[in-house]
Amino acid sequence: MTDPVPLEDLFEDIIAKSMRGRHLSESELVEKTGVPRDVLARLCRGEFCDETALKKVAGALSLSPQALAMAASKVWRPRPVEIEGLTMFNTPYRDMRVNAFLVWDPASMTGATFDTGTDSRLLTNQAKERGIRIESLFITHTHNDHIADFDRLRSAVPSAKAYSNRAEPWPDTETFSEGMVFQIGALRVKALTTNGHSRGGTTYVIQGLERPLAVVGDALFAGSMGGGMISFDDAWRNNREKILTLPDETVICPGHGPMSTVAEEKRNNPFFAAEFS
């Protein structure tokens, strides 16, 4: 039995991302919350030393105090997800790990990949073992960890069509705009632009399996979200309006960390739980 994929962010990562996104320094946060500087510094270092102080910090950063306290207490992780027609591959990249996905229509055994991970042979080998024909290669965004093995994947399935968002194009791919619909056999794939972490970050919403899927790249993680490297406000809004408004049973397939669901993120993600309480 393999070890479960760890959560991408600890509670101190969530605080740091929100501080950057809200443009608040430690000094400003001390002034805004009344939390002593030494206590705030310990929280920012990942020491869960004062729950009352943590909840004050959460409020000042527009985070859910209850969900952030749960993250700090390490009492939550999403329930495991198993769906016929979906496999996640988690591979090492420098000091972190990154996900790629193989999705297929069980009836026709037509498949597609989403990102590459650092060893795309894992995707193509499983497709070969299962008798899946990979016809499409989708890119969520073009940060190095997500397209690290694109050339090898492209060479392994030369007949497949590769796609990237027009706002963030990649060589040797066809580009698309938001709302484009693709097919994986009988499965329907709709592309939503969920930019903010990157210029053309894309969420692919897949219908036709036993539960809907949302392959979100680095827009959203289990219990956190991607850093708003281009625009934190856009990243937050796209998550709120385009991903977390999908049906509760929708499986979130993120670029890092374990899979989750819309329902679990609405209840337990510190960035969004207060919005849906």
Q: Is residue 78 part of a domain?
A: no
Give CA–CA dist 108/110, Å, rounded.
5
Give CA–CA dist 222/199, Å, rounded.
22
Give CA–CA dist 81/101, Å, rounded.
13
Give pTM, 2 decimals: 0.97
| pLDDT per residue as tens, the chain (277 positions) | 467 999 999 999 999 999 999 999 999 999 999 999 999 999 999 999 999 999 999 999 999 999 999 999 999 999 999 999 999 999 999 999 999 999 999 999 999 999 999 999 999 999 999 999 999 999 999 999 999 999 999 999 999 999 999 999 999 999 999 999 999 999 999 999 999 999 999 999 999 999 999 999 999 999 999 999 999 999 999 999 999 999 999 999 999 999 999 999 999 999 999 999 7
20, 39, 73 - which closes a domain: 73
Q: How many domains does the chain have?
A: 2
Asked if residues 117 and 91 have their Cβ atoms less than 8 Å apart, the reply is: yes
Q: Indicate if 198 and 271 belong to the same structural domain.
A: yes
156 CB-near residues (< 8 Å, 6+ apart): 120, 121, 124
134 CB-near residues (< 8 Å, 6+ apart): 102, 111, 112, 113, 123, 124, 127, 157, 160
Query: 139: domain CATH number?
Result: 3.60.15.10
Q: Indicate if 127 and 222 belong to the same structural domain.
A: yes
Placement of tokens 């000091």 in the chain: 95
Give CA–CA dist 207/186, Å, rounded.
9
Q: Is residue 255 part of a domain?
A: yes
24, 50, 73 - which closes a domain: 73
Asked if residues 39 and 53 have their Cβ atoms less than 8 Å apart, the reply is: yes
Q: Indicate if 248 and 116 belong to the same structural domain.
A: yes
Asked if residues 212 and 262 have their Cβ atoms less than 8 Å apart, the reply is: no
Residue 54 burial (CB < 10 Å; 0-12/13-18/19+)?
buried
Q: Give the count of beta carbons closer than 10 Å to the beta carbon of residue 25.
A: 10
Q: Indicate if 194 and 147 belong to the same structural domain.
A: yes
Structure tokens at 30: 């001390």
Q: Indicate if 117 and 252 belong to the same structural domain.
A: yes
pLDDT at 1: 40
Nearest to 63 by CA among 31, 34, 21, 30: 21
pLDDT at 3: 72
Q: Is residue 80 part of a domain?
A: no
> Domain range for residue 37?
11-73
